[in-house]
Chain A
Amino acid sequence: SQTIHQWPATLVQPVGSPLSLECTVEGTSNPNLYWYRQAAGRGLQLLFYSVGIGQISSEVPQNLSASRPQDRQFILSSKKLLLSDSGFYLCAWSGDFRITDTQYFGPGTRLTVL
C-alpha cells in the first residue's frame, strides 16, 4: 500500500531563517506531487505541483521554492522565512494527473515563524 510521510511534524523558526520541509511517498512510482499551505482561517492554497523529477510548477509567487530530486521525494524550501509563511503545510500525491484519481495527503507540518 502507498504511504506518504512528511517531516518535521512541527517547526518553529525565526524570521529570516532558511526552511526545508521534506515529503516522501512509498509504494508507488512516478506520482504527481503537490505542496499546499493552509493558513489560519483560510482554505488550502496550492503552492507547487510536480509531474516528474525536476519538473516543478509554481502556482503562487512567493519566497518559497520546491524541488523534486528523486521520483518520490518533494522538498519545500525558503532562503529567508517571513512571518506570513506561518501555516500548516501539506504534501499530497496522486496517481492520475487530473481525471479520476483523488489526492492523498500527508500528515502535515505545522510551521510557526516568529
Chain B
Amino acid sequence: KQEVTQIPAALSVPEGENLVLNCSFTDSAIYNLQWFRQDPGKGLTSLLLIQSSQREQTSGRLNASLDKSSGRSTLYIAASQPGDSATYLCAVYEETSGSRLTFGEGTQLTVNP
C-alpha cells in the first residue's frame, strides 16, 4: 500500500527566507507526483505536476523536484512571502491503481512578516 509522508508537519519562517518542503513515498511505481496548496477552510489548488519521467518542474518562485527511484520529492519556495502561508500537500498517482491519488498529510507553512 502506498504511503506518502511529508516532513516537517509544520514550519514557521521569516519573510524572505528560502525553504524546502519534503515528501517521500513508499512505492516508486508512480505516474506522476503533484504538489497542492490548501488555504484554511478552502479546497486544494494545484501548484506543480511532475511526470514520472521528469526530474523537476518550475513555476515562478516554486521549484519541485522528483527522485522516483528513492521515492522523494522536494518543493522549494524562494523568497517566501506572507501570502505563501498555507498547507502544502503532495500526492502521487500510482501505476498499479490509476484511480488513486494518495496524499500526504501536508506541511503547514507560516511565513511571518
Contacts and interface: CB of A to CB of B under 8 A. Distances in A.
Interface in B43-87: 43-46, 49, 51
Contact of A100 (B51, B91, B103): B51
A57 interface: yes
B46 A104 contact: yes
Interface residues of A, number: 24
B101 A46 contact: yes
Chain A interface helix/strand/loop/mixed:
loop
A59 interface: yes
A46 B45 CA distance: 17
Interface stretch (A11-19, A70-78, A106-114): A106-114
Interface centre among A42, A44, A57 (most CB of B within 10 A): A44
Interface of B: 4, 31-32, 34, 36, 41-46, 49, 51, 89, 91, 93, 98-101, 103-106
Interface of A: 34, 41-44, 46, 49, 57, 59, 88, 90, 92, 97-100, 102-108, 110
